[in-house]
Amino acid sequence: MDNKPIGFLFVLKSNYFYYDTYRNRLIQVTVEQFKEIKRLLEIGQADYLASCDDTEEQQAIVKLIHMGFFRPSFIACEEHPNMRYIPQLLNRCVNFVQLQVTRSCNFRCRYCFFANDNTMTRNHENAYMDWDTARRSIDFLYEHSCDVSEVGISFYGGEPFLNFAIIKKAVEYAEKKFLTKMIRFSATTNGSIMDQDIADFLAEKGFHLMISLDGPADIQDSHRRFSGSGGGTFDKVLENIMLLKASHEDYFYKNVIFNPVMFADESYAKVLAFFKSIGVRESAVRKQYANMKGIDYNYDLFHSDIAGTSEYEHFQEYNVDQIEHIKDAYKRKFIRTSEELPESGCIPGVVRLLITVHGEFYPCEKINENEELMIGNLRDGFNEEQVRRIANLQKLTHEQCKTCWAVRFCKMCAIHCTDPEKGNISRQAKEAYCRVIKKIAVSFLKEQAERQNQEV
Amino acid sequence: MGNIFVFSDSYITKAVIHCIEYMHRDNEKLGSVYVLRENHRQDEFPKHYRVVIAQSLQECLNACDICLIYKSERITEPCVERIRSEAQQANVTCCCIDLQKKSVLEEQRKKKSVTVLIVRYGTFTQQYYTEFALASAFRKNNIAIAQEFSTLAATIMESLEFLKQNEENGKRGLAVIALETPCLETFDNDTKIRSIVHALRPEYVILSTNGNTELSDEVFKRFYYLYGKKIDCVVRSEYVPFVVRGTEPVPLRCILKNKEKNAKRNIMFVDDMNVGDLLFEDIHAKLAIPKDIHLL
């Protein structure tokens, strides 16, 4: 194994810093020490120690070596640490199913992943889940959730409320079926289909509801239009939200959240002000930025100059999950074993299982629905080999991961490793996302370095 | 007496079934124990256990005379109420037992006899299994023991007392004591545990742990240097604490094909279902007095 240390050197505003991967520590060094560390990273510990002349800078570096810095690669594990539990997890720990009750939608949204302009994935179609498939999906969850005490059933689309009758039947069936477990029902809706009966049902069953409303009329209507008429959707959606709020205020505040989708040149302050004006708390608003992959390649997400923010602030906006993961990883000062790194994503099918209108299994709703990523179906059950392949993403780049300085910050998901054109998992796609993670990690370390300097 | 329907989460239900097996194996009046398919599969239980995996609640209530509901932190109040209400409608006697008692670390101890100490290390250790298995093994070999059970085991046994036929308990001789307060995981109770272990001076120590807690040399050394006694044997449960969502782990029932083998450590596995016999053999080999020698 390569004995060269794993770490990252950078300069920030004429100050010199080194991040050590094994110790998970960021240290500030002098310019002479910086040069020594650079040499050490290039030639490895053994050669460096052999060539030391015992200068003051070298003494400092040697002391750091004795403190555990500058260790070479410590990643031994080639597969996801939970691979050995996969059969049991798939048999006994499935705890959240998303039922794709329809592929039809009454909206045509500018940024929709399933928009007809998107060449990368399936498009909207007139397909509805029948009762037999819905019932068998719930039975599948029942049969494979022995060891969990809470299960989740989510309804997805298209626009799921277009098939509300099936949703209602599925909920009532699940409630009769599960006796020892809490069931958490949820749905994502565009808010256009609502009446008093639906509102009463959602409140009675305690549905966790996410309503896709992008903001005031000018924003909503420019992003989200009715599929038939092409007209704006704001008035109808707002009317339904008010109906729900008026008839079940307590439920509305506890269980309903909104996810406005924004473009970089839009003002979040304006969107937030709108939500507050209709009585929605800030904590119930979960913004996300439009992903135009496969729809409009001219749209560049990294418009930090438009937003007028620093690179780190930009990443905090656009890559919230990744930043949160890096912050969390950076805080952990204990040494994680080599069996735990790098951190792959979830075990497909266990944390989340998407069941399509035709009874096919996919890891989640964000993934392309193509055969390459299918992990089973209702008739045959899970395809364990496929689950393992998707869970074991680090195998794609294991040799690089072993010597990657950002390995502690890495949190990979199958979505990130999917080729945007072909829709399959590929090494190139993973490597491209690796570069993104490193960019975010560098930005985070620089932010930490700046903060450290200010405190001093 | 007939059949019993046991309702709880999968981990607790199994504890109850093992307890019933331990207390009432020879009770001819007792029929089968019914549990819900929602949480169990037939291959989880040894063939000689009288367990029926029911497809529905109705099946359980039709077949059983008594319904025992064990309220644990993984069972919600609405679930309990629902079962209670359905049982009442079906004229089935329903008893509700609250398992959410916290164990109290009893520090004042005196050594009375040769002692086997079972200590818990980790979560979902099925410590109760070792307690019952050992008690059964001694009973089978006609050796009277005095036994202090862990809180979970004791509470379940207490709930099943009304099913119990009269049985004499050994008051002298070997003592088996379960120390269920978490040890080695935190330093919070170290002083108390140390004083208990010093007071008891156990002759044999069993570490009860789950399926994936690492048993490094450090664990054994820490026990030895912190509490002053070496661990004689480890019993691994069938469960692995696994975080599926959030931070609370679930007890994932997991029998791995390749069980760890360690020349230095005496490791046993609950799913092998022979822990009692193996433990008895080992304890007997280490602690039994030869025939012609008498203790004064």
The complex scores an ipTM of 0.85
Which run of H or E residues covers position A312?
Answer: helix A311-318
| Cα first-last separation, chain A | 39
Least CB–CB distance from A92: residue in B36, B74, B253: B253
Least CB–CB distance from B256: residue in A84, A146, A181: A84
Q: What angle do CA B69, B73, B76 make, to 5 degrees?
A: 65
> Comparing A108 with A254, which gets the higher pLDDT?
A254
How close is the nearest chain A Cα to the Cα of B262, in Å?
19
> Comparing A4 with B170, which gets the higher pLDDT?
A4
> Comparing B205 with A292, which gets the higher pLDDT?
B205
Indicate whether A307 pLDDT > 50. Answer: no
What pLDDT sits at residue B168? 43
What pLDDT sits at residue B124? 92
Indicate whether A417 pLDDT > 60. Answer: yes
Q: What is the mean pLDDT of residues A262-268?
A: 83
User: Lowest mean pLDDT: which of A129-133, A445-449, B88-92, B253-257?
Assistant: B253-257
Q: Which of B36, B11, B33, B9 is nearest to B22 (CA)?
A: B33
Contact with chain A for residue B71, Cβ under 8 A: no
Closest residue on chain B to A147 (Cα): B252
Alpha-carbon gap, residue B145 to A316, rounded angstroms:
64
How close is the nearest chain A Cα to the Cα of B241, in Å?
10
User: Lowest mean pLDDT: which of A67-71, A140-144, A180-184, B216-220?
Assistant: B216-220
Contact assessment for residue B121 and residue B186, using Cβ atoms and an 8 Å cutoff: no
Q: B217: Cβ–Cβ under 8 A, 6 or more apart, which residues? A: none
Alpha-carbon gap, residue A403 to A399, rounded angstroms:
7
Contact assessment for residue A198 and residue A161, using Cβ atoms and an 8 Å cutoff: yes
How close is the nearest chain B Cα to the Cα of A446, in Å?
30
**Long-range contacts formed by A263-270: CB under 8 A, 24+ apart:** A263/A289, A263/A290, A263/A299, A264/A289, A264/A301, A264/A303, A264/A306, A264/A307, A265/A303, A265/A306, A266/A215, A266/A219, A270/A215, A270/A216, A270/A219
Burial string for A28-46 (b: 16+ CB within 10 Å, else e) reads ebeeebbebbeebbeebbe
Contact with chain B for residue A173, Cβ under 8 A: no
Contact with chain A for residue B10, Cβ under 8 A: yes
Maximum average pLDDT range among A228-242, A422-436, B27-41 = A228-242
How far lies A286's CA from each of A186, A210, A249, A272, A289, in Å?
Answer: 16, 9, 20, 10, 10
Which run of H or E residues covers position A252?
Answer: helix A249-255
pLDDT per position as a tens digit, B45-79: 888 888 999 999 999 999 998 999 999 888 888 88
Alpha-carbon gap, residue B122 to B116, rounded angstroms:
19
Q: What is the mean pLDDT of residues A358-385?
A: 91
> Comparing A440 with A296, which gets the higher pLDDT?
A440
CB contact under 8 A, A147 and B253: yes
Using a CB-CB cut-off of 8 Å, the residues of chain B touching A88 are 240, 252-255
How close is the nearest chain B Cα to the Cα of A351, in Å?
6
> Comparing A224 with A402, which gets the higher pLDDT?
A224
Q: Chain-wide mean pLDDT for chain A?
A: 86
pLDDT tier for residue B247 given thresholds of 50, 70 and 90: confident
Interface probe for A, chosen from B6, B38, B59, B83 (most Cβ of A below 10 Å), is B38
Q: Are strands B233-236 and B204-209 parallel, antiparallel or unpaired?
A: parallel
What pLDDT sits at residue B24? 80
Q: A150 has which bridge partners?
A: A182
Contact with chain B for residue A147, Cβ under 8 A: yes
Contact with chain B for residue A340, Cβ under 8 A: no
* CB atoms closer than 10 angstroms to residue A321: 9
Q: A73: Cβ–Cβ under 8 A, 6 or more apart, which residues? A: A1, A2, A6, A402, A403
CB contact under 8 A, B242 and A180: no
How close is the nearest chain A Cα to the Cα of B163, in Å?
25
Q: What percent of chain A lies above the pLDDT cut of 90?
A: 52
Determine whether A119 is exposed, middle or buried from the number of CB atoms within 10 Å of its CB (0-12, 13-18, 19+).
exposed
Closest residue on chain B to A87 (Cα): B254
Q: Torsions phi, psi of B250, nearest 5?
A: -105, 155
Q: Identify residue B79 by its one-letter amino acid code.
A: C
pLDDT per position as a tens digit, A6-34: 999 999 988 999 999 988 899 999 999 99
Contact with chain B for residue A208, Cβ under 8 A: no
Q: What percent of chain B lies above the pLDDT cut of 90?
A: 31
How close is the nearest chain A Cα to the Cα of B59, in Å?
13
Interface probe for A, chosen from B6, B39, B124 (most Cβ of A below 10 Å), is B39
> Comparing A314 with A443, which gets the higher pLDDT?
A443
Q: Torsions phi, psi of B191, nearest 5?
A: -65, -40
How far lies A413's CA from each of A360, A403, B63, B244, in Å?
Answer: 20, 20, 48, 16
- Chains A and B: how many Cβ contacts under 8 Å? 67
Q: What is the mean pLDDT of residues A239-250?
A: 96
Contact with chain A for residue B126, Cβ under 8 A: no
Alpha-carbon gap, residue B132 to B19, rounded angstroms:
7
Using a CB-CB cut-off of 8 Å, the residues of chain A touching B242 are 82, 85, 89, 93
Contact with chain B for residue A92, Cβ under 8 A: yes
How close is the nearest chain A Cα to the Cα of B133, in Å?
24
CB contact under 8 A, B79 and A351: no
Least CB–CB distance from A85: residue in B40, B41, B252: B252
* CB atoms closer than 10 angstroms to residue B50: 17
Interface probe for B, chosen from A83, A96, A179, A364 (most Cβ of B below 10 Å), is A179
What pLDDT sits at residue A409? 87
Closest residue on chain A to B10 (Cα): A147
Distance of CA B263 to the CA centre of its chain: 26
Indicate whether A305 pLDDT > 50. Answer: no
Both tokens of A104, joined, read 């039809």
* CB atoms closer than 10 angstroms to residue A455: 6
* CB atoms closer than 10 angstroms to residue A185: 21
Both tokens of A450, joined, read 């700046």
Maximum average pLDDT range among A129-138, A422-431, B153-162 = A129-138
Both tokens of B292, joined, read 């012609």
How close is the nearest chain A Cα to the Cα of B41, in Å?
9
Indicate whether B278 pLDDT > 60. Answer: yes
Q: What is the mean pLDDT of residues A163-180?
A: 95
pLDDT per position as a tens digit, A40-92: 999 998 899 898 888 888 999 999 999 889 988 877 666 777 888 899 999 99
CB contact under 8 A, A92 and B244: no
Closest residue on chain B to A179 (Cα): B79
Indicate whether B294 pLDDT > 60. Answer: no
User: Lowest mean pLDDT: which of A204-213, A322-331, A337-346?
Assistant: A337-346
Distance of CA B22 to the CA centre of its chain: 10
Least CB–CB distance from A180: residue in B75, B253, B255: B75
pLDDT tier for residue A216 given thresholds of 50, 70 and 90: very high
Contact with chain A for residue B251, Cβ under 8 A: yes
Using a CB-CB cut-off of 8 Å, the residues of chain A touching B38 are 142, 145-146, 177-181
pLDDT per position as a tens digit, B172-196: 467 788 877 667 766 677 888 888 8
CB contact under 8 A, B9 and A149: yes
What pLDDT sits at residue A297? 57
